[in-house]
Amino acid sequence: MDSYIIIDGWKSNIRFSSAHIIPEYEKCGRLHGHTYAVHVKISGKPDEKGIILDFSILKENLKQIVKELDHRILIPKKSKTFSVKKEKDNVKISFLNKTYFFPLNDCIFLPIKSTSAENLASYILHKFLEEAALQKNIKSIEIGVDEGFGQGARISKSFN
């Protein structure tokens, strides 16, 4: 038998509001924002207390990750379209025929190619795996990122 636990980011308040640009798409190539929610599903074998993973620890881990993203401009460090130049306390983002200047402190630089929901989910999954000390009873983890209500991406990793 397989059991899993789930956390719904909308209901558990694991959310962040951020601005981004996806230059590859015309409409998304203009600076705009979303409220995102992060969901998680973890399957595994309950321990002798009947618990796969403590909800409060799980939520604390996720809240730390989303806190860094909240109220920031998300900048994909690995973008092939953006040119990103730091100039003193500002960052200059250029692509196609546009240039944006942002205060450095308002930005977070992410090791992804674009700030799609898919890539944000992948980033959060990696970050979560780095920071969470997972027990051997965990079989798989799925992270979901909703970009507003009703649309989002999911990514999962299994352990053997």
Report d(CA 103, CA 91) in Å as an integer. Answer: 6
Which of these is catalytic: 32, 60, 68, 71? 71
Q: Is 20 a catalytic residue?
A: no
Q: Is 28 a catalytic residue?
A: yes
Which of these is catalytic: 20, 34, 39, 147? 147
Reduce the secondary structure of the chain to three states and give it as a string. Answer: CCEEEEECCCCCCCEEEEEECCCCCCHHHCCEEEEEEEEEEEEECCCCCCCCCCHHHHHHHHHHHHHHHCCCEEEECCCCCCEEEEECCEEEEEECCEEEEEEHHHEEEECCCCCCHHHHHHHHHHHHHHHCCCCCCEEEEEEEEEECCCCEEEEEEECC
- Cα angle at 25 between 63 and 33, to 5 degrees? 35
Amino acid at 110: L
Q: Is 130 a catalytic residue?
A: no
Which of these is catalytic: 28, 87, 118, 142? 28
Q: Which active-site residues does the annotation give?
A: 28, 71, 147
